[in-house]
Amino acid sequence: SGLLVVAKHDRAHQGLTAAFAAHDIERVYDAIAVGSPRPGVGTINAPLARAGGDRKKMTIVPDTDDRPDQRHAVTHYRVMENFGRGRAKLAGDALASLVECRLETGRTHQIRAHLAHIGHPLVGDQVYGRGPGLSGLKPGDPAADHAIAVLTRFRRQALHARILGFLHPISGEELYFEATPPADFAELHEALKAL
């Protein structure tokens, strides 16, 4: 969910393409991840390429690979909130976390593949993750039961494009947009906060 940029004509498209290539566009996403990345602030610098013959899935490849489809990919992340620490299997671990991701590059499925690569796939991600649930969440009390119900209704990966900032490709005007999360993302966030 969230923001995207669309060019209305070719000249604007060319300018935006150049800005994306130069990494001059600010893109910030909110993600709800399984568990909590450690350290709480970090950078994932891991090249991406197509996963085997699957056009719809990306995989991390070693820098030493010389694949023609290999693309440099960098995601900066920061854990904003942890959820369900008291219910986690291991002391101090969180069941889930709200993670802010800033893209230095913008590859297909970059955030999804990068967070899965460090062991913290997005909640609800059927391709890179574990599906809709949180394995450490056990029914039995109202907060857990509510979170399970919300997770059951949540039919997508928990990722929201919150901020988009760039210079207008024609006028040079500085543009900055911010979108609040949609109702399903906000409901999931609130249910996890109650754990």
- DSSP assignments along 47-72, one per residue: -EEEETTEEEEEEE--TT---TT-B-
Note every long-range contact of 145-149, with CB atoms under 8 Å and residues 24 or more positions apart, other chains counting.
Answer: 146/191, 146/194, 147/84, 147/191, 147/192, 147/194, 147/195
Mean pLDDT of 165-179: 96
| CATH number, position 126 | 3.30.2350.10
Q: What is the pLDDT of residues 129-153, one digit of tens each?
A: 976 667 778 888 899 999 999 999 9
In a domain, 173, yes or no: no
What pLDDT, on the 0 to 100 scale, is given for residue 79? 97
pLDDT at site 122: 97
Residue 95: give the domain boundaries.
Answer: 27-164+183-193
* Residue 19 within any structural domain of the chain: no
Number of domains the chain contains: 1
The answer to whether position 85 is within a domain reads yes
Could you tell me if residue 175 is inside a domain? no
Q: Classify residue 176: in a domain, yes or no.
A: no
Q: Does some domain include residue 138?
A: yes
pTM for the full predicted model: 0.92
User: Looking at residue 87, what is its pLDDT?
Assistant: 61
Residue 178 — very low, low, confident or very high, per pLDDT cuts 50/70/90? Answer: very high
Using the predicted structure, report yes or no on whether residue 116 has a pLDDT greater than 60: yes
